């Protein structure tokens, strides 16, 4: 097994079985988190899923950002008095 992804703040690890069977030109990929969570028959299917997930996440971010910007387009700017009453950050 060759780790190809490890979540920095979780126990999730994705690993490529380099000695595993070849399916449609690629080796199997496994998702571990104390046990096998999911498996893909080849690395191409796993990579396609990663790209699809990233695109959907980016679209959600863009949609959320656009709504947030339009929601605040008519907000009053914060002046010096409001900042001084708020106190230091943190």
pLDDT at 65: 74
For the stretch 55-83, pLDDT in tens is: 999 998 888 877 666 665 555 544 444 44
pLDDT at 63: 84
Total of domains in the chain: 1
The H helix count followed by the E strand count for the chain is: 2, 4
Q: Which domain holds residue 44?
A: 1-60
pLDDT of residue 6 exceeding 90, the answer is yes
71: in domain:
no
Which whole-number Å values give the CA distances from 52 to 18, 26, 45, 89, in the listed order? 24, 18, 10, 39
3: in domain:
yes
pLDDT of residue 52 exceeding 90, the answer is yes
45: in domain:
yes
Tokens of 21: 């069977």
5: in domain:
yes
- Strand 13-16, strand 29-32: pairing: antiparallel
pLDDT at 69: 63
């Amino acid at each position: 097994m060759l780790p190809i992804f490890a979540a920095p703040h979780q126990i999730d690890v994705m690993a490529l079985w380099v000695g595993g069977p070849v399916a449609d030109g690629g080796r199997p990929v496994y998702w571990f988190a104390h046990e096998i969570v999911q498996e893909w028959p080849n690395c191409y299917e796993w990579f396609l899923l990663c790209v699809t997930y990233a695109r959907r996440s980016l679209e959600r971010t863009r949609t959320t950002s656009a709504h947030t910007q339009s929601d605040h387009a008519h907000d009053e700017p914060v002046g010096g008095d409001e900042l001084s009453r708020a106190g230091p950050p943190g």
